[in-house]
Amino acid sequence: MAIDAEKLKSLVEGEVLSSSFDQGRYATDASIYQIRPRAVLIPKTWTDVEAALDFANSEGISLLPRGGGTSQSGQTVGDALVIDFTKHLNKVEHYDAKKGCITVQPGLVLDDLNRRLKTDGWWYPVDVSTASRATLGGMAANNSCGSRSIRYGKMQDNVEALEAILANGEMHRFAALRPDAALDTDMRALALREEVEIRARFPKVLRRVGGYNIDALLGDAPNMGQLLIGSEGTLAITKSLDLKLSPTLTTKTLGVCHFPTFHAAMDAAQHIVKLNPVAVELVDHNMIRLGRGIPQFKPIVDRFVKGEPAALLLVEFAETNAENRRRLSALGDLMAELGFRWGDPGKREGGVVEAEDPSFQAEIWGVRTQGLNIMMSMRSEGKPVSFVEDCAVPLEHLADFTTKLTEVFRKHGTDGTWYAHASVGLLHVRPVLNLRQDMGLRKMRAIAEEAFDLVAAFKGSHSGEHGDGIVRSEFHERMYGVRMVRTFAEVKDRFDPGGVMNPGKIVRAPKMDERSLTRWPENYDPQNRSTVFDWSDWPGGLTGAAEMCNNNGACRKSTTGVMCPSFRVTGDEKDLTRGRANVLRLALTGQLGKDAFTSDQMAEAMELCVGCKACKSECPMSIDMAKMKAEVQAARVASVGLKLRDRIIASLPRMASAATKLAPLANASRGLAHFVGFSTSRKLPAFKRAFAGKPDGEVLLFADTFNRYFDPETLAAAQRVIERAGFSVGVLSIKGRPLCCGRTYLSAGLPDKAKAELERTTIAMRDALDAGKVIVGLEPSCTLMFRDEAVNLISDWTADDGAQILTFAEFIAQHSDHLTARSETKVMVHGHCHQKAMGVAQTTVDVISGIEGAKAQMIESSCCGMAGPFGYQAETEEVSRQMAELSLAPAVRAALPDTVVVADGFSCRCQIADVAGREAMSLAKLLDRMTCL
Ligand SMILES: Cc1cc2nc3c(=O)[nH]c(=O)nc-3n(C[C@H](O)[C@H](O)[C@H](O)COP(=O)(O)OP(=O)(O)OC[C@H]3O[C@@H](n4cnc5c(N)ncnc54)[C@H](O)[C@@H]3O)c2cc1C
Ligand code: SF4
Ligand code: SF4
């Protein structure tokens, strides 16, 4: 049902989003559920939130506050007006570094907070795995917990007080109980009335986050803040949080305990915690196997995994160095006592691998984090489903519980992927199910019922970390009993008698297996479109690939890596990989109406995607939005045609040859480019005399359009450097016009033309390779096209063929033994996004660093923002500049005058010149100038 969006817009300063695409972008969190919100408010100020509450009360609709939207239980979806706090209400309101007191707004992301605190020796210790995008407001409402919760507890242990608005519009401070506040005294009276029941029914495990924390109102220090924490936006909307900070953990050490069986690892946890570690995390044999299969991780896994254990426990200590050493040694002794000692025939194979070096520890944690992501990225119709993934039992029962749960899975013909916060008895396990089928939903329900009965029998908690949401709220009676569930309803009704605040979560929840609430509703209709690329690796083709996005939100990270530059600039869900994947999935399954795939709204969703491919390498599910955008572009061009400007860009490889011959005229006419939609504030690159090169050689340069016509000096420099290394150098060619990779056609939405170019070029490449030649490309996006898109577009071109087309840096790396610098040179390298996505950016740094007398350092940058024509288009030029300003331009401006800036991408060099006012050069030019061979 729609709301009166115009009325709401007139009441607020922030944005109101109400189109079907906007609703689609906010219809999911990281759970299996999907409910379209009525609309979305992006409040600019707290006054907007108050106005939204008035509006909701007068219009009879519900409100759903939202942070990063990473919840796994469905608490962040609803038939409501969503209020997204992340864009504006994300500030630190007050900070006293001396006292360690801080007050923050709810939309602040945990990593951003910790970055700010780091220099003062503080950190916020609820270290959730989603720290790069989880907000403090969402964490508090979920009562989140980190892997070090055995030391630091849950959110409720780390928040002093919260300021929040009630459904009736009153502001309330939630902290130590105030006898003069009616709400506080009512809640205390309710808790005292139910004291016997609470003490009998609340599970006595650290990891209980389900229900309302009414137990916090018992005893000598009743606390209303703790009651609000974990309430999943159902009681009040948080305006600010006073947080308890902790001193940073400086010295840490890690023991990697090896076990011959999964059961043995689970059983050992109860003994290991007696050594007071800060974390005990499980890594199972699946993760070890997957880690070994990834070239990047294999050497690390080989270093910390001995033999073929069935499971590992990563045990972390964080005391003084001396104490850490003592505890690590005690851990070895304990393992031996438990019967696990290397090479002792009388004992079970096992023991401890010690990791005292901080960088080794970081590598081990990295494998664990990534391994987890890989386990979740299963490309089959059945997927690991999150619904019994949050059970916590007393540690002494962990091993038995695991065995019994495995039996439940087997009984229902499935298996699970396991990981665990073993220190606190919490098992994350996801059975593999296909929820498109009714059978899948039925199995989910049956497994949930049996699993939660088991949890109740072991006196555990079925919500140990991820909250209740839709998936577990209906099961509260099993854990808490009928009376306590009625008490929870009383709590809800005292706070929110009209049911405005996120209804249907914690109390009065719908059935967890109600199909209409899932991502696969009755009208789910996967379409079988013909596509540009071969998507057959995904069951369901392109639709299946779009469905891989499980909304975990990793693309919202803002500091490390590249993904996602457009979101980093705008802060809008629309410009996020997740936002794009969601509307694609909905369009491809008939949930956004006819022709949604080629609609203006879809084009708008893709407009700021620069095709950097960062998502392909950084998204845990490997969502390849650059390829998906190419599909949308192609379908759109087929449906509505191509603008003149885009036609000019697409046919640059063909036109450039003629333009070069008439260079003065062509360059003069650049001033008229704005008439066809180029920006007036950028000058298009000037055509130069085209690079000719020699017809043949042992090494053949793939002379791409950009270097050939705009920067021929780079090709000439490459030729000289390679000749100095002892090879004859020619240019890869075929009869007729110069060769091209087809990228400009592909980006414009003309895949057939792109294929035609690729076919010509791959024929020439194959002939050259067959003749024993080496092919070297200078422009990263053109050269790497043969390792990526070409493999998918050209039937007889394989990944092995593509791997033989070397970047210039890769070629030099193989022949650089005798390079020396003419003088001391300091170099900063900006990696092209495609170099980063394909894992070859570091090679440029390594080549330079390998030269005696040279020092190179990679600039920590996201996309430069130029991205081919993106920076020159009138409508995207400003965003392009903002992308450069995120990190690259400031880093380049801060570089000392004698530091050389190297960028292998032609557009990156143009952007650096335009935005940072500095000339960057290609690696080829640098080596030509600075080295002797
Ligand atoms: C891969 C993955 C790993 C995860 N790992 C962990 C983990 O290690 N530990 C853990 O605890 N959780 C984990 N989670 C779950 C989730 O990331 C956390 O619960 C996180 O804290 C949620 O933060 P968010 O900003 O995304 O909240 P959201 O999902 O946006 O919101 C969570 C709840 O908070 C409410 N809310 C948001 N803002 C407000 C506000 N201002 N006032 C009132 N209510 C509000 C929402 O209505 C919702 O009910 C994981 C999830 C994923 C996908
Ligand atoms: S696009 Fe990738 S990183 Fe972003 S939410 Fe989806 S799966 Fe996660
Ligand atoms: S290709 Fe780049 S800009 Fe596009 S969605 Fe992926 S990360 Fe974002």
The pLDDT of residue 167 = 98
Rounded Cα distance between 889 and 911, Å, is 9
How many Å apart are CA 538 and CA 205, to the nearest integer? 41
Q: Decide: 29 and 13 in contact? Cβ < 8 Å.
A: no
- DSSP-based three-state secondary structure for 567: helix
- For residue 912, give the DSSP letter: I
The CATH topology of domain 253-376 is: Alpha-Beta Plaits (3.30.70)
Residue nearest to atom 7 of ligand 2 (CA): 549
**Closest ligand 1 atom, CA of 155?**
11
The tens digit of pLDDT for each residue in 363-417 reads: 998 888 776 676 766 677 788 899 999 999 999 999 999 999 999 999 999 887 7
Residue range 294-303: average pLDDT?
Answer: 84
How long is the chain?
933
pLDDT at 932 over 70: no
In the chain, residues under CATH classification 3.30.70.2190 are 253-376
Q: Which pLDDT value is given to residue 159?
A: 98
Choice from 31, 88, 129, 385 to test ligand 1 binding pocket (greatest atom count within 8 A of CB): 129
- Taking CB atoms and a 6 Å cutoff, what residues make up the pocket around ligand 1? 29-30, 64-72, 75-76, 85, 106, 128-130, 134-135, 137-139, 141-142, 144-146, 232-233, 237-238, 465-466, 502, 552
H helices of 641-750, in order, are 644-650, 652-661, 663-668, 705-710, 712-724, 743-748
User: Residue 810: pLDDT band by 50, 70, 90 thresholds?
Assistant: very high
**Pick from 162, 18, 137: nearest CA to 81:** 18
Q: Is the pLDDT of residue 527 over 70?
A: yes
Domain with CATH 3.30.465.10 in the chain: 92-247
CB 34 within 8 A of CB 518: yes
Q: What are phi and psi of 612, to 5 degrees?
A: -75, -15
Q: What is the mean pLDDT of residues 438-461?
A: 95
pLDDT at residue 845 greater than cutoff 80 = yes
Give the number of other CB atoms < 10 A from CB of residue 99: 8
Give tens-digit pLDDT for 26-62.
Answer: 999 999 999 999 999 999 999 999 999 999 999 999 9
Ligand 2 site-directed mutation target among 129, 133, 377, 555, most atoms within 8 Å of CB: 555
Distance 626 CA to ligand 2 centre (A): 14
Decide: 670 and 684 in contact? Cβ < 8 Å. yes
Q: What residues form DSSP beta bridges with 47? A: none
CATH number of 816-932: 3.40.50
**Ligand 1 atom index nearest CA of 239:** 41
Please report the atom of ligand 1 found closest to the CA of residue 421: 8
Mean pLDDT of 770-790: 97
Integer Cα distance of 14 and 171 in angstroms: 21
pTM for this one?
0.95
* pLDDT tens by residue, 181-235: 999 999 999 999 999 999 999 999 888 999 999 999 999 999 999 999 999 999 9
Among 119-128, 663-672, 811-820, 923-932, name the one with the lowest average pLDDT. Answer: 663-672
CA of 71 to the centre of ligand 1 (A): 5
- For 383-467, CATH gives 3.30.70.2740
pLDDT band at 286 (very low <50, low <70, confident <90, very high): confident
pLDDT of residue 344: 72
Closest-CA residue, ligand 1 atom 41, reads: 238
Tell me which architecture the domain covering 92-247 has in CATH.
2-Layer Sandwich (3.30)
Mutate to test the pocket of ligand 2, among 133, 623, 625 (most ligand atoms within 8 A of CB): 623
Peptide bond into 549 cis (omega under 30): no
Residue 892 has pLDDT above 80, yes or no: yes
Least confident of 97-106, 292-301, 435-444, 867-876: 292-301
| Contacting residues for 770 by C-beta, under 8 A, at least 6 apart | none
Q: Is the pLDDT of residue 460 over 90?
A: yes
Q: What percent of the chain has pLDDT over 90?
A: 81
Nearest CA to ligand 3 atom 5: 577
Write the CATH number of the domain with boundaries 5-87: 3.30.43.10
pLDDT, one tens digit per residue, over 241-283 is 999 999 998 899 999 999 999 899 999 999 999 999 999 999 8
Instruction: Return the SS3 of 587.
Output: helix
Q: Look at residue 818 in the predicted model and tell me its pLDDT.
A: 62
Q: Is the pLDDT of residue 659 over 80?
A: no
According to DSSP, the residues that pair with 827 across neighbouring strands are: 856, 900
**Which residues of the chain does CATH 3.30.70.2740 include?**
383-467
Q: CB within 6 Å of ligand 3 — which residues?
A: 563-566, 577, 580, 609-615, 625-626
Q: Does 547 score more than 70 pLDDT?
A: yes
| d(CA 9, ligand 3 centre) in Å | 30
More confident residue, 677 or 407: 407
Ligand 2, CB cutoff 6 Å, lining residues: 549-555, 577-578, 581, 615, 619-621, 623
- Using the mean position of ligand 2's atoms as its centre, give its distance from the Cα of residue 436 in Å: 21
- Residue ranges, comma separated, of all CATH 3.30.43.10 domains in the chain are 5-87
Lowest mean pLDDT among 125-139, 311-325, 498-512, 849-863: 849-863
- Place 347 in a pLDDT band, splitting at 50, 70 and 90: low
Which tokens hold the place of 295? 């070239």
Q: What is the DSSP string of 106-135?
A: TT-BHHHHHHHHHTTTEE-----TTTTT-B
Ligand 3 pocket test target in 555, 560, 562, 564 with most atoms within 8 Å of CB: 564
Q: State which ligand 1 atom lies nearest to the alpha carbon of 469.
A: 49
Q: Based on C-alpha coordinates, what's the Rg of the chain?
A: 29
Backbone angles phi, psi at 882, to 5 degrees: -65, -35
Q: How are strands ordered across the β-sheet holding 81-84?
A: 15-17, 39-42, 81-84, 63-66
Least confident among 416-420, 571-575, 708-712, 917-921? 416-420
